[in-house]
Amino acid sequence: MLNDVWLKIAQFFGTLNGENVKRESYVHTPEYEMALKAWKETEQEWEEFLEKLPAEEQEKAEEMKECLEDFASAQEKRAYIQGYADCVQVLYHMGLLKENEGLKWAEKLNVR
């Protein structure tokens, strides 16, 4: 039963975290839109560039690109979670949420 609850929460957060980009509340920043447009304009050029490289260098370039994409994805997920944490703290400092014995704020924990 408890695992079912956490599974539903994970699915809900997954839906909010960019999986459903067609939903009405999805945020489209100008910076993201410009970066996406720039990538779409250079994607074909990237593919042509790769084709000119020897096979070994093509593989290395693709590995480096995947590493960069993984890093960008991790940054995005971290920022997404940080946004939730910041929102909860704002609500707490506004007096809309109360701290209880079972809940400790991250800034009060000694996490290493």
Residue 1 within any structural domain of the chain:
no
User: Cα–Cα distance between 29 and 110 in angstroms, integer?
Assistant: 35
Give me the pLDDT at residue 112, please: 44
Q: Which two tokens stand for residue 89?
A: 């703290």
Q: 19 near 10, Cβ under 8 Å?
A: no
Residue 71 within any structural domain of the chain:
yes
Average pLDDT over residues 21-36: 84
3-state class (DSSP) for residue 28? coil
User: Cα–Cα distance between 90 and 84 in angstroms, integer?
Assistant: 10
Number of domains making up the chain: 1
Provide the domain limits for residue 79: 27-108
Give me the pLDDT at residue 102, please: 66
Average pLDDT over residues 21-25: 73
Q: Over 60: is that where the pLDDT of 107 sits?
A: no
User: Cα–Cα distance between 82 and 88 in angstroms, integer?
Assistant: 10
The band of 71, judged by pLDDT with boundaries at 50, 70 and 90, is very high
Please give the residue that has the higher pLDDT: either 17 or 60: 60
